[in-house]
């Protein structure tokens, strides 16, 4: 597990949260708000949690 950084682990955990929890996490700090707004996170979150037709 030494090769995984904290950011990668946190990213994977946040992907498993529901929408309301993600909104709450945005209020933790500016860094989290920025990270949760990155297109990589948003794209992966919605592609894994919602069916795209």
Residue pair 14/42 in contact by the 8 Å Cβ criterion = no
pLDDT of residue 24: 94
Within-domain flag for 23: yes
Is the pTM higher than 0.75? The answer reads no
Query: Rounded to the nearest 10 degrees, what angle do helices 39-49 and 30-37 cross at?
Result: 60
Note the pLDDT of residue 50.
Answer: 77
Q: Does some domain include residue 41? A: yes
Q: For the chain (length 53 residues), average pLDDT per consecutive 10?
A: 70 91 92 90 86 60
Q: How many domains does the chain have?
A: 1
Domain membership of residue 1 (yes or no) is no
Q: Which three-class secondary structure state does DSSP give residue 26? A: coil
The boundaries of the domain holding residue 28 are: 6-49
């Amino acid at each position: 597990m030494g090769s995984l950084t904290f950011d990668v682990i946190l990213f994977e955990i946040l992907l498993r949260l529901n929408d309301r929890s993600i909104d709450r996490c945005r209020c933790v700090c500016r860094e989290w708000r920025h990270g949760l707004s990155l297109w990589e996170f948003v794209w992966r979150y919605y592609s894994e949690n919602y069916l795209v037709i």
